[in-house]
C-alpha cells in the first residue's frame, strides 16, 4: 500500500474517529428532563373538570344507570368541600378501594400527596351516602380511648357496650345491599392491635372473620369496606409489616403526582394577585418545565438515596416555589424537610448542582457520557484504583521508553550523519580512502562504547555497525578499482603511446566501474583518458594522488 492510498483511506477514517470520540464524550439527556416535557404535553385534569366521568365511575361502582348531567358523584366528592384532586389518580384509587380483596386496603402516601383527602372522598363515592361512612382520625397515645369509643367497653353493670364501629356493623347487617365504609386516617399513629383488641385482631386474619366480645358475636359484614390511611416512611408511630397488611389489606402506595401540580399551576393563571415573577412563571412553558423537572429530580434523589417515604408530595411547600428566582428557597425547603427526618447522611446544598447544570445544558445530564459511565462503573466495582495505577505505570513506562527511544534515535542520527559526511567527503575526493576509513573506524569504536554502556541498544548498535561496515567496504572497493584502473593505464602508457585498442579497453573498463567509484574519480579518469588519446604523440603518464 503506497502513501497516496494510505492518505485516501485516512480521509473517511479520521472524521469517523472524531465522531466516535464526540459520541463517547457527549452527555445524554436526563430521563427526568424528557419526562417533564412529556408531562407538559399531557392534559392535567381535575375531578371538577369531569363531572360526567365522575358520575360514570359512580354508576359503575354501584351498578346503576348512567345519567349524563347527574351531580350525585360530584356532590359526594365535594364533602366536606371540593378539592383540587387530579382525576386519573383519584379514579385509580377509587377503583382500588371498590375492588380490594376482602374489601380491605391500606393507602399509604408521603406528606403532600393527598392520601387522606382522596381516601375520604373516594370512600364517600364507594359508600354512595356520607351517612354510611365512618371517619376515624387517629391521634398518638389514644389507642385505648379509640378502642373504647369505636370497638366498645363494659359498662358499670359489666355488660359490653358496642362502640361506633361495631354499631355500624349492626347497620350493615340490617342493610345488606348498601355499602358501608370506615376510614381509619393516620392509622399508623396508634397500635392497630390495641385499637381492634385481641379477638378482632385475630379474626381479621381468618377466612371467616368472626369474634366474640363480651359474650356477643361480631362478624365482619360482607358489605363493609375498611380503608386504613397511613403515612409512608419515617414519622410513623407503628411501622406496618406483612402481618398488618395480611389483616388490614394490601398496601396501595400513592406516589407524588406531577400532573396535579401542573393542574394547580394552570389554575393560578386565572389569579390576579400574583407577583410579576409568578405571573410570568405560570405562563412561561420553559420556566414551568424547569420547575417540574426540579420537582421530579428532587423526588428521584430522595427516593434513590433515602427511600420512598422521604419523598415530597405535590401539596407540600414546594408548590409555591415555582419561579426560577425561588430556586434557592426551594432547595432549602427540601433540606429542611429531609434533615428534619434525621437521615443517616444529611442532604447538602451542593447535591443540587447537577440539576442546575442539566437545566443550563438544555437537559443534558452531567457525567452521563459513555466514558463517564465507564469510569463510574469502575468506581462502583472497585477496579478504578487498580486500573488507574496500571494505566499510570503504563503511561510512565511509555514516556520513559519514548524518551530512551528518542535519545537513541538522536545518537544514531548524530553518528549516522557523521558517517555520511565522511563518505560524501571521500566521494568528492576531499578526503583520501585511508583517511575516510580511519575516521569511520573511530565512529565505529564510539558506537561500540555506547552499546557497552547501554546508552544504545544492542540491536540498534549492530544495525549501525553494519551501516558503517558497508561504507568502509565501499571505500575499500572504490580504492581497489581505482588502483586497478591506474595500473592498466600506466601499462598501456609504457611506450608513451595510447593506441585506439588501448583507448577502447580503457573506456570499456571505465564504464564497468562507473557506479563503483565516486563520480568525481570517474570524471577525472575519463578526462585523463580523453586528453591522452587526443594527443597520442605526447608522452603521458598518470599517477595516483592518493
What are the tens digits of pLDDT across the range 373-392? 666 666 667 666 677 777 78
- Whole-angstrom distance, CA of residue 439 vs CA of residue 445: 10
Plot region of 343 (φ>0 → left; ψ -120 to 50 → alpha; else → beta): beta
Task: Please give the Cα distance from 474 to 481 (Å, whole number).
Answer: 10
- Burial code (b: 16+ CB inside 10 Å, e: under 16) for 38-65 equals ebeeeebebbbebbeebbbbbbebbeee
Mean pLDDT over 273-301 rounds to 95
Among 3.30.360.10, 3.10.270.10, 3.20.20.150, 3.40.50.300, name the CATH number for the domain at 47-83+87-254. 3.40.50.300
pLDDT at position 373:
62
CA-CA distances (angstroms) from residue 301 to 41, 305, 355, 459, 536?
24, 6, 10, 62, 110
Task: Determine how β-strand 216-219 pairs with β-strand 160-162.
Answer: unpaired
Please choose, from the candidates 263, 334, 267, 340, the residue with its C-alpha nearest in 3D space to the C-alpha of residue 295. 334
Q: How many CB atoms lie within 10 A of CB 472?
A: 18
Percent of the residues in the chain that have a pLDDT greater than 70, as a whole number: 89
Average pLDDT, stretch 273-294?
A: 95
Burial readout 492-519 (b: 16 or more C-beta within 10 A, e: otherwise): bbeeeebeeebbeebeebbeebeeebbe
User: Of the ranges 2-6, 174-178, 399-403, which is most confident?
Assistant: 174-178
Residue 305 has pLDDT above 60, yes or no: yes
Could you say which DSSP state residue 364 is in?
B
Q: Are 68 and 52 in contact (CB under 8 A)?
A: yes
Rounded Cα–Cα distance for residues 44 and 262 (Å) = 7
CB 436 within 8 A of CB 423: yes
Task: Summarize pLDDT for 475-526 with one digit per residue, the tens.
Answer: 777 778 777 888 888 888 888 888 888 888 888 888 887 777 777 778 888 8
Higher local confidence (pLDDT), 122 or 454: 122
Poorest-confidence range of 115-124, 209-218, 347-356?
Answer: 209-218
187: left (phi over 0), alpha (psi -120 to 50) or beta: alpha
540 — pLDDT class (breaks 50, 70, 90) = very low
Give the model's pLDDT for residue 544: 43
Annotated domain spans of the chain: 28-42+258-365, 47-83+87-254, 386-460
The three cell numbers locating residue 107:
393507602
Amino acid at each position: 500500500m503506497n502513501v497516496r492510498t494510505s492518505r485516501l483511506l485516512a480521509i473517511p477514517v479520521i472524521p469517523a474517529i472524531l465522531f466516535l470520540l464526540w459520541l463517547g464524550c457527549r452527555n445524554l439527556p436526563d430521563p427526568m428532563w424528557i419526562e417533564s416535557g412529556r408531562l407538559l404535553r399531557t392534559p392535567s385534569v381535575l375531578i371538577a373538570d369531569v363531572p360526567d366521568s365522575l358520575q360514570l365511575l359512580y354508576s359503575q361502582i354501584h351498578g346503576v344507570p348512567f345519567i349524563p348531567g347527574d351531580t350525585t358523584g360530584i356532590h359526594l366528592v365535594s364533602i366536606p368541600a371540593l378539592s383540587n384532586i387530579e382525576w386519573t389518580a383519584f379514579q385509580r384509587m377509587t377503583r382500588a378501594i371498590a375492588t380490594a380483596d376482602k374489601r380491605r386496603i391500606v393507602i399509604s402516601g408521603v406528606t403532600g400527596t393527598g392520601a387522606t383527602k382522596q381516601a375520604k372522598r373516594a370512600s364517600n363515592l364507594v359508600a354512595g351516602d356520607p351517612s354510611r361512612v365512618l371517619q376515624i382520625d387517629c391521634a398518638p397515645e389514644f389507642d385505648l380511648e379509640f378502642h373504647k369509643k369505636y370497638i366498645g367497653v363494659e359498662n358499670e353493670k359489666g355488660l359490653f357496650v358496642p362502640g361506633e364501629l361495631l354499631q355500624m356493623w349492626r347497620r350493615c347487617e340490617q342493610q345488606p345491599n348498601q355499602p358501608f365504609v370506615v376510614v381509619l386516617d393516620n392509622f399508623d399513629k396508634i397500635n392497630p392491635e390495641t385499637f381492634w383488641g385481641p379477638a378482632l385482631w385475630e379474626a381479621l386474619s381468618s377466612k371467616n372473620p368472626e369474634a366474640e366480645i363480651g359474650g356477643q358475636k361480631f362478624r365482619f359484614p360482607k358489605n363493609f369496606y375498611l380503608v386504613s390511611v397511613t403515612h409512608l416512611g419515617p414519622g410513623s408511630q407503628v411501622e406496618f409489616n406483612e402481618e398488618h397488611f395480611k389483616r388490614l389489606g394490601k398496601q396501595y402506595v400513592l406516589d407524588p403526582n406531577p400532573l396535579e401540580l401542573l393542574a394547580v399551576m394552570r389554575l393560578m393563571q386565572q389569579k390576579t394577585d400574583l407577583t410579576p415573577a409568578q405571573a410570568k412563571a405560570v405562563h412561561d412553558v420553559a420556566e414551568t418545565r424547569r420547575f417540574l423537572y426540579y420537582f421530579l429530580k428532587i423526588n428521584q434523589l430522595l427516593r434513590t438515596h433515602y427511600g420512598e417515604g422521604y419523598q415530597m408530595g405535590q401539596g407540600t411547600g414546594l408548590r409555591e416555589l415555582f419561579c426560577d428566582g425561588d430556586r434557592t428557597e426551594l432547595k432549602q425547603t427540601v433540606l429542611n424537610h429531609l434533615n428534619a427526618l434525621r437521615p443517616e447522611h444529611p442532604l447538602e446544598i451542593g447535591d443540587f448542582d447537577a440539576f442546575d447544570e442539566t437545566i443550563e445544558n438544555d437537559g443534558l445530564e452531567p457525567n452521563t457520557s459513555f466514558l463517564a459511565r465507564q469510569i463510574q462503573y469502575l468506581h462502583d466495582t472497585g477496579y478504578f484504583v487498580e486500573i488507574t495505577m496500571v494505566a499510570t505505570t503504563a503511561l510512565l513506562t511509555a514516556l520513559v521508553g519514548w524518551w530512551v527511544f528518542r535519545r537513541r534515535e538522536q545518537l544514531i542520527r548524530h553518528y549516522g550523519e557523521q558517517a555520511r559526511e565522511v563518505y560524501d567527503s571521500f566521494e568528492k575526493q576531499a578526503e583520501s580512502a585511508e583517511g575516510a576509513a580511519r575516521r569511520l573506524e573511530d565512529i565505529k569504536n564510539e558506537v561500540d562504547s555506547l552499546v557497552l554502556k547501554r546508552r544504545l541498544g544492542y540491536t540498534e548498535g549492530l544495525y549501525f555497525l553494519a551501516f558503517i561496515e558497508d561504507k568502509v567496504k565501499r571505500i575499500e572497493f572504490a580504492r581497489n578499482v581505482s588502483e586497478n584502473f591506474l595500473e592498466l593505464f600506466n601499462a598501456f602508457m609504457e611506450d608513451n603511446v595510447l593506441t585506439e585498442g588501448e583507448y577502447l579497453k580503457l573506456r570499456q573498463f571505465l564504464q564497468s566501474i562507473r557506479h563503483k567509484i565516486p563520480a568525481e574519480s570517474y570524471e577525472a579518469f575519463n578526462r585523463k583518458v580523453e586528453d591522452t588519446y587526443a594527443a597520442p604523440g605526447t608522452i603521458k603518464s598518470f599517477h595516483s594522488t592518493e
